[in-house]
Amino acid sequence: MKANQLISTYPLSFPAPEKPYNGPTFDRSGHQNDFVELRDSERNAERRSRPRPSSSPDSNTGGKLTSSKTSHEVSLDWIRMSGPVAMRHEAVKLLAQYYGNPTYGTGRYFLNAGYRFGSAAVYFDHEEEQRKDHSVVDLPGAAMSEISMSDAVDLLGDLLRLGFKATRLDIAVDLYCAPSLIEKVTQSCMNGELCRAKKFRPQHVQSGKDVTGYGCNIGDRGKMGSGRYLRVYDKGLETKEREQGHWVRWEAELSSEPANEACKALALNDDAVAVGIAHAFGVCDFRENTGSQHIDRRPRCKWFQDLLKQVEPERVVQSRTKSTVHSFKRWMQTAVLPKLETLSAATGNRMDQLLAILFDECMPDPEHLEDPKVRALCIETGTDPSVALQRLGNRRLVMLTAGEGAA
């Protein structure tokens, strides 16, 4: 069955968790009262010491999605989720079932407090006066290695039901029979065959005569990116566990909406293998450079088609926030006016003088009154339509009404 058949439509909201909880209780201040019913240290130690398949090298990632008989393995390498601060205690309770006793301490991600379970953590603001309205659940690779894949998927579903939203999800596909994959990816990018991504950066790190790092990064991270970032690199070189070319990792770092869509798909589908592979290989595409502007008309590169086999990539597009009058005002207040005020104070000129220095004379255009943001701002300031037209030269009759302004 293909992955695109598995990734079905999911509901807009998740029902409340039905699992009963018999763990510790927490007071309103965020301090822990009681750890009596938590799993004891012996069970925690037993879970951490579970053996891994002998056919694959040890890794710092979570439980594998495929059996040891296959030539590739899929794992979740990082999960970060943001949710209501009121649900932070419930998130702590969930993590306590998998990671044991937490410790209360400092926070992260601009939040000043948190509960840590080794490398896993729940962060939030402790002070009521300065409390931000969100909390963060952070599960890096070291934390994912301590739980099985089925537990990770269950944990994802429970956090989604509590109102948490994924802000980062790393899906790693380890390939043990693809010695020339990095060369193929790099050469394909250089040949102009990379699609659905613009930037690529070949990586080569050498210490003396020894190559210590080798790979290729595709895409942009952060605000400048699309929410999809790909690293193809030699994991054996990085961990020094295998010779070059014997352990290649295809690692997709999803953020924002693509990460949340992938988490929902994992939580709602039974075949986590197909879903994980589909999202990992859906970050970008490689198609022959025929000169056509239509990507769908270009045949997929043979090496990439062979890699995908029967799995069709699932690509989630990052949605763009629709501009409103409020976002327009916020942009003016945060990006434009502070710089103009700084220039005005630094040069000793009034704002009108500064504008005359910076810009040539320009005439207002009545056509701008048809812009919904301009109409809304005029109505918000109580500007009379006839007066507005007189100020603009009465060159065109444009009626300003409350209904139009609110449109």
pLDDT of residue 327: 66
Domain boundaries, the chain: 3-308, 328-406
Residue 220 has pLDDT above 60, yes or no: yes
- Cβ atoms 353, 262 nearer than 8 A: no
| The pLDDT of residue 86 is above 80 | yes
pLDDT of amino acid 333: 77
pLDDT 10s digits, 13-46: 334 334 444 433 433 333 333 333 333 444 444 4
pLDDT at 135 over 90: yes
Alpha-carbon distance of 73 to 145, in angstroms, equals 14
User: Lowest-pLDDT range, 175-179, 219-223, 249-253, 384-388?
Assistant: 384-388
65 vs 50: CA distance, rounded Å: 16
Q: Give CA separation, 266 vs 60, 170, 270, in Å.
A: 21, 13, 8
pLDDT of residue 332: 80
Say if pTM beats, i.e. exceeds, 0.75.
no
Q: What is the pLDDT of residues 154-164, one digit of tens each?
A: 899 999 999 99
Rounded CA-CA distance 335/339 in Å is 7
Cα separation, 248 vs 343, whole angstroms? 52
